[in-house]
């Protein structure tokens, strides 16, 4: 039987038999659908990548208010689109290390205060213009000014000086930072001609694809970049369709309208995995689903109100009923065991008596208003309802306002004082803390401002002793957990799915969903 299956799979790889025909023949040989699918996938992977064709994605999170300006990217769709046409200096590899993109190599001084990034020889933008060190400096500078709205502002504030020297970019830090290459991998820091200062949303970069059709919040079409320097990108065309409704997105995959989707609802992931021709991929990591409060705005400026909310949430119930096992319990910090210098704290448990005590101590007796939408994270409205019920057990009233999906990231997140949200996490603590909790960070979505925390962050950057650095991060986590506006009930697994029409998925890829958002670049039409 095995010889016959190898022969049939060879016909599929040669394009002389469809996958549907293969499954039918395999069934006739007595193989179950699951076993046939596994055999076919293994055979396709062994045959290696195929070039050409179209990969179609259905993704959640896009909005008509989005922009192609990478500085403003704030959701999975924006991240994926920018990954198609642009690249930062470096990026995170599948094993969690840093690999070169626009920069082919990098090195630092002994104290990690000065870093030198060497620009890749012969690299060009998609418009044919050569990439220069000056383009890199201007690109980074655009995320540095006081007027910028870039999500990378917190990262750039640690830089003292940047200069172009031949084919090298020299970055001098205010204080030493051993993690700078990880910070330069931030997805906002895409290198653009002239830094993108004249046309930040032009979509011209060094990525493997060129945008051909853009309908913001609806559909994007990209074709292979003939000037691309690297080997990413097997499909000739990538089509990205924004499908914010969970049911519609799964249905589009099952019906063959798309080949790849993100955010499979945990409630139905098991059922989706049993559908013929569908593969569900689960990856654990630093991503977390959260409730965020502005601690500079009443009533959240009152620390007892925040402690009441933190003790009034049933984390295990949320993991069970929202994640359905695809994740783990959170502890009101953004750091979990996915980070290399993680320190575990005593788990904060649901305690309605403590919640009631702190709310009474705060002197606030009015209701708390929480805004939410399906666009914030899968099951967010249901999670809000569970939060409402657990708080009710402490005598605390939570009002819920369901906001429209479209515009949630521009109108609600980082604007309204209490809402549901999510973070994809970052590869190292410094980047996570710098992006979202440094006092001066533009994406400080809890308005947490603590001078001691800021000083400890700078101290940790300069500390080359990993043991001391780990302790500093632990102390920072403790401050954030007790005084911050982050309520983190759960760390989510990334649950994605693909059809048998495409191959090349690599399990366990670090970073964001969909193989660190490189799935369409690395997969191929089978």
The per-residue pLDDT for range 247-268, each reduced to its tens digit, is: 999 999 999 999 999 999 999 9
The answer to whether the beta carbons of residues 499 and 263 sit under 8 Å apart is: no
pLDDT given at position 4: 55
Kindly state whether residues 371 and 503 are assigned to the same domain. no
| Domain presence at residue 73 | no
- Phi–psi pair at 10, nearest 5 degrees: -65, -40
Among candidate residues 443, 453, 467, 477, the one with its CA nearest the CA of residue 334: 477
| Domain presence at residue 251 | yes
pLDDT given at position 11: 46
pLDDT given at position 512: 86
CA atoms within 13 A on the CB side of 290: 27
pLDDT given at position 147: 84
| Domain presence at residue 74 | no
The answer to whether the beta carbons of residues 405 and 265 sit under 8 Å apart is: no
pLDDT given at position 14: 42
pLDDT given at position 371: 98
Kindly state whether residues 338 and 315 are assigned to the same domain. yes
Kindly state whether residues 354 and 429 are assigned to the same domain. yes
Distances from the Cα of 519 to the Cα of 21, 105, 192, 440, angstroms: 26, 24, 23, 33
* Bridge partners (DSSP) listed for residue 372: 402
Kindly state whether residues 311 and 458 are assigned to the same domain. yes
What CATH number did the domain enclosing 97 receive?
3.90.76.10
Kindly state whether residues 148 and 250 are assigned to the same domain. no
Tally the residues of the chain. 526
Kindly state whether residues 175 and 216 are assigned to the same domain. no
Distances from the Cα of 200 to the Cα of 70, 87, 151, 250, angstroms: 8, 14, 14, 34
For 459, the domain range is 288-492
CA dist 393 and 359 (Å) reads 13
pLDDT given at position 425: 87
Distances from the Cα of 299 to the Cα of 354, 363, 399, 439, angstroms: 18, 10, 14, 20
Kindly state whether residues 326 and 349 are assigned to the same domain. yes
pLDDT digits (tens, 9 = 90+) for 128-163: 999 999 999 999 999 998 788 899 998 898 899 999
509 contacts: CB under 8 Å, gap ≥ 6: 94, 283, 515, 516, 518
pLDDT given at position 145: 80
CA dist 375 and 379 (Å) reads 9
**Domains held by the chain: number:** 4
Kindly state whether residues 34 and 112 are assigned to the same domain. no
| Domain presence at residue 79 | no
Q: At which of 163, 196, 229 does a domain end?
A: 196
Torsion of CA 98, 470, 178, 515, to 10 degrees: 20
Kindly state whether residues 314 and 441 are assigned to the same domain. yes
Whole-model pTM: value is 0.82
CA dist 16 and 9 (Å) reads 10
Kindly state whether residues 58 and 38 are assigned to the same domain. no
DSSP run (H or E) holding 380:
helix 380-392
CA dist 498 and 19 (Å) reads 14
What CATH number did the domain enclosing 332 receive?
3.10.105.10
Q: Which residue ranges in the chain fall short of pLDDT 70?
A: 1-47, 510
Burial class (CB in 10 A: 0-12, 13-18, 19+), 14: exposed
Kindly state whether residues 113 and 242 are assigned to the same domain. no
DSSP run (H or E) holding 40:
helix 33-47
| Domain presence at residue 25 | yes
Q: At which of 137, 161, 196 does a domain end?
A: 196
CA dist 447 and 217 (Å) reads 28
pLDDT given at position 320: 96
Q: At which of 152, 171, 196 does a domain end?
A: 196
pLDDT given at position 228: 97
| Domain presence at residue 444 | yes
314 contacts: CB under 8 Å, gap ≥ 6: 350, 386, 390, 489
| Domain presence at residue 308 | yes
Kindly state whether residues 34 and 15 are assigned to the same domain. yes
| Domain presence at residue 75 | no
What CATH number did the domain enclosing 260 receive?
3.40.190.10
């Amino acid at each position: 039987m095995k010889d016959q299956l190898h022969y049939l799979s060879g016909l599929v790889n040669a394009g002389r038999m469809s996958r549907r025909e293969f499954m039918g023949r395999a069934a006739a040989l007595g193989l179950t659908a699951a076993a046939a699918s596994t055999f076919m996938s293994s055979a396709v992977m062994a045959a290696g990548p195929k070039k050409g064709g179209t990969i179609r994605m259905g993704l959640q999170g896009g909005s008509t208010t989005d922009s192609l300006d990478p500085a403003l990217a704030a959701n999975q769709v924006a991240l994926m689109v920018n990954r198609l046409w642009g690249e930062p200096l470096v990026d995170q590899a599948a094993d969690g290390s840093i690999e070169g993109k626009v920069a082919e190599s990098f090195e630092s001084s002994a104290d990690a205060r000065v870093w030198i990034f060497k620009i890749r020889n012969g690299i060009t933008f998609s418009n044919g213009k050569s990439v220069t060190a000056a383009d890199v400096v201007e690109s980074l500078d655009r995320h540095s000014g006081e007027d910028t709205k870039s999500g990378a502002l917190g990262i750039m504030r640690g830089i003292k000086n940047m200069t172009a020297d031949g084919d090298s970019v020299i970055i001098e830090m205010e204080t030493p930072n051993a993690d700078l290459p990880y910070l330069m991998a931030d997805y906002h820091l895409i290198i653009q001609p002239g830094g993108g200062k004249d046309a930040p949303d032009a979509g011209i970069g060094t990525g493997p694809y060129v945008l051909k059709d853009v309908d913001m919040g609806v559909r994007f079409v990209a074709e292979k970049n003939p000037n691309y320097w690297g080997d990413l990108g097997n499909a000739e065309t990538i089509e990205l369709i924004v499908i914010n409704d969970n049911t519609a997105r799964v249905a589009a995959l099952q019906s063959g309208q798309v080949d790849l989707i993100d955010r499979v609802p945990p409630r139905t992931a098991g059922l989706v995995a049993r559908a013929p021709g569908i593969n569900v991929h689960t990856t654990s990591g630093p991503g977390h689903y959260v409730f965020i409060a502005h601690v500079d705005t009443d009533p959240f400026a009152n620390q007892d109100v925040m402690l009441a909310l933190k003790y009034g949430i049933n984390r295990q119930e949320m993991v069970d009923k929202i994640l359905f096992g695809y994740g783990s319990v959170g502890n009101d910090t953004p750091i979990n065991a996915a980070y290399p210098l993680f320190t575990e704290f005593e788990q904060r448990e649901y305690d309605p008596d403590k919640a009631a005590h702190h709310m009474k101590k705060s002197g606030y007796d009015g209701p708390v208003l929480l805004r939410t939408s399906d666009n914030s994270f899968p099951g967010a409205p249901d999670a809000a309802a569970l939060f409402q019920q657990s708080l009710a057990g402490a005598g605390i009233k939570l009002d819920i306002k369901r906001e429209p999906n479209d515009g949630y990231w521009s109108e609600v997140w980082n604007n309204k004082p209490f809402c549901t949200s999510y973070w994809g996490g970052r590869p190292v603590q410094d980047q996570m803390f710098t992006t979202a909790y440094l006092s001066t960070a533009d994406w400080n979505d809890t308005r947490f401002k603590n001078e001691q925390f800021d000083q400890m962050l700078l101290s940790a950057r300069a500390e080359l002793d990993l043991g001391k650095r780990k302790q500093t991060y632990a102390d920072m986590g403790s401050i954030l957990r007790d005084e911050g506006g982050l309520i983190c009930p759960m760390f989510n697994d990334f649950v994605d799915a693909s059809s048998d029409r495409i191959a090349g998925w690599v399990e366990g890829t670090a970073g964001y969903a969909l193989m660190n958002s490189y799935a369409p670049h690395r997969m191929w039409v089978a």
